[in-house]
Structure 1
């Protein structure tokens, strides 16, 4: 065999996809499979083949992602990555990762590329840094109260809630709210054609015994200003008391009142005692309104891993929280065209970034640059970990850059890909 990847032919999709499913030991429903087929971009998908058998799979997806400052930037998404168990440790994955990045650079379409990881330890060596985390919680709603300030409670009470047993019925209303939210939070993805179906996937194997997917809309003067999609998993104690769970799939709202009204609704569904929250923003507002945070079982997990394809274009694509003018020395062993010194000058209106021969103020690897890019990971924290170096300690360059890079909201990836 050769480890040289080649572009997927449309006629090979089924065998290529079956190998991917085998690697993950998953059998998807016909609905899931059909959606995956429709979202695959064959011309951006590759495989490594041993004769007629695919032994490595990987794909790229074309997204637009919000970055600090509100711009929505073309970003590639790495997806469907697998290596057959029979062909591990032969350079298959490395060859596919290199081919993807070289293709991205040649196309010039996207300055950024991101992924979600089944095994996070894999991707750091290819320059991907953890740029966005996600919040998970199992909230004991029988013992934890949601305590709203008086004015917020009054505003929430003025909204009308509309409950729908089939979430797909209000898909367009939900997508309109979601689209308005995208520029407000780094890491959020515009949903192109077909991607509006992703949050509505409701195959039996995904429910875990819960009900079909439901929805509730928050309406102000008849217009949707928020939504939640959820399911209910029934349960009863040995003594016959109800112990059902609310399983939240996603929630978006345009203002604090809509947020509050939707969380109140989820908190108060009859016969339920637990609200299961998964893959939410780290700064989700409900955390600041609960009576007992310990009984919420909150924890975080990795979300989006990100790396620049082209350092200069990536740093110039976002804006910065305060004026910044620093020279950053970047090390990128996997994409050597990024290695070197880059002068970044910018503020909240925009930025420019170009190669320079000036002395470096800061030094870091491309992985740390990816981790800090969306503003959720502080360059100062990375410096304390020994991963960022200030050329002249005490010069103020680290503080200047660290403050400039930060976002006023936590970055968040709303769904996997």
Structure 2
């Protein structure tokens, strides 16, 4: 079998997109014109590749040009792998490996030190050096029995319904989202075109649910939060409120917007997925057991350039350590790295100094955003301490003041 791996041409878009949908068990008819036009607008053909067997597209991947927040608040150029797929007829022939090899080499050439992917199957990407770096909470809350505690300052808030199709409302929501971006590692700056994503509302994508609803919270006339959601009617008073997005500038707005979801008439469940693992809601609910929280994997990260990536973030405590990194898939990373840093900044360079800690690039990626402790990986043998006393100090330094969060997929 001979396949042609090449950058996507604009006249190949339809066949490329349809092949991806089919690989994910969907068809173009079910995708809807709104979502299709969105993807066509945000995918840069120069950063997408297709695998072709004659005239048939048998593999696809897009590489979104993102900027992602890292610990310390800096935005770092990040390649976002999306639409990754191989036709069922062409599995187990090394085609996915070829596409990953091609795209990671291009990211290195473009000096983009990070790559991320949201994996439909978590076992796929570890062999390419991606580690699970962001987790998320899912809630299924019995809102008929669970209450949200009041927070000081709520009495000064005004909650009003807003029209999500209104351009002014969208601008206000995007401003509040942008204010959150530097606060949490893992968050993605909205690149041009991506501001449409939270407001896509094709009826075919929400069977049995209402159109998108929006409520704004303001204080002294200034917006301080918003929530978007959909309602799924059920017989009796057993409807479900499905949270889409919630961003708030302060604790009072956060609590008030959550409480609003609990108070929607004729509903008894609030369903929310993709929330940060330190979401304050879990400390506001009256009954955590009836909130049915589940922890799930959300984002897989790859250090394309270990030195540049480690130098791009800050560290919670002073660190001066040599990391011996093994990386079979991106061998340019496979060496000893001298990392020095603190809350003000960091440097990371190649060194011949003896190593203090040893790990794979995948495990280094897992701890990079601060959501997983390096010491936890050491307890299962995935980080080795070579110099006594360096593990605990380095694990502390790699932590983050806020849990990493990916508010939306790509």
Scaled to the shorter chain, the TM-score interval is: over 0.9
| Cα contact 2:51–2:57 (8 A) shared by 1 | yes
Report if aligned partners of 2:224, 2:249 keep a CA contact under 8 Å in 1: yes
Asked if the contact 1:70–1:184 (Cα under 8 Å) also holds between the matched residues in 2, the reply is yes
In the alignment, what sits opposite 1:407?
400
CA deviation string 1:299-341 (max 9, x = no partner): 0111110011100000000000010000000010000000010
Contact 2:231 2:241 (8 Å CA) reproduced: yes
The C-alpha deviation readout for 1:93-114, integer Å capped at 9, x for no partner, is 0000000111111121x11010
Secondary structure at 1:121's aligned position in 2?
coil
Structure 1: gaps (5+ residues) = none
Using the size of structure 1 for normalisation, the TM-score is: 0.96
Instruction: Tell me the equivalent position of 1:162.
Output: 160
Q: Give the superposition deviation at 1:269.
A: 1.5
The DSSP-based 3-state class of the residue aligned with 2:124 is: helix
Aligned pair partner of 2:353 in 343, 346, 358: 358
Number of residues paired by the alignment?
Answer: 406
Alignment equivalent of 1:384, drawn from 361, 379, 384: 379
Deviation at 1:3, TM superposition (A): 4.4
Q: Once the 2 structures are TM-superposed, how far is the Cα of residue 210 of structure 1 from its aligned partner? A: 1.0
1:85 to 88, 103, 114: 88
Q: Do the aligned residues in 1 keep the contact of 2:327 with 2:361 (CA within 8 Å)?
A: yes
**Superposed CA RMSD:** 1.1
Write the distance in 1 (CA, Å) between the matches of 2:307 and 2:104.
Answer: 15
Partner of 2:5: 5
CA distance in 1, matches of 2:42, 2:97: 24
1:346 aligns with 2:341: yes
- Alignment map for 1:16-415 (pairs within 5 Å): 16-27=16-27, 28-108=31-111, 110-148=112-150, 152-153=151-152, 155-166=153-164, 168-169=166-167, 170-236=169-235, 241-392=236-387, 395-415=388-408
Q: Which moved more, 1:351-360 or 1:158-167?
A: 158-167
Q: Deviations over 1:7-40 (max 9, x none)?
A: 1111111101110011111130011111110111
Asked if 2 retains the 8 angstrom alpha-carbon contact of 1:64 and 1:75, the reply is yes
C-alpha contact 2:164 2:199 (8 A) present in aligned 1: no
Taking the aligned partners of 1:129 and 1:224, their CA distance within structure 2 comes to: 37
Task: State the distance in 2 between where 1:186 and 1:58 align.
Answer: 25
CA distance in 2, matches of 1:401, 1:167: 48
- Distance (whole Å) between structure 2 residues aligned to residue 263 and residue 51 of structure 1: 53
For residues 336-373 of structure 1, give each alpha carbon's deviation from its aligned partner in whole angstroms, at most 9, with x where no partner exists: 00001000000000000000011110000011111100
Asked if 1 retains the 8 angstrom alpha-carbon contact of 2:133 and 2:301, the reply is yes
Deviation for aligned residue 1:208: 3.2
Which consecutive aligned stretches of 4+ in structure 1 deviate over 2 angstroms post-superposition? 1-4, 164-169
Alpha-carbon distance in 2 for matches of 1:319, 1:415? 24
Q: CA deviation at 1:267?
A: 1.4
Is the deviation greater in 315-324 or in 253-262?
253-262
- In structure 1, how many angstroms separate the alpha carbons of the residues matched to 2:375 and 2:47? 37
CA–CA distance in structure 1, aligned partners of residues 237 and 194 of structure 2:
36
CA drift of 1:168 comes to 4.6
Q: Secondary structure, in 3 states, of the residue corresponding to 1:120?
A: coil
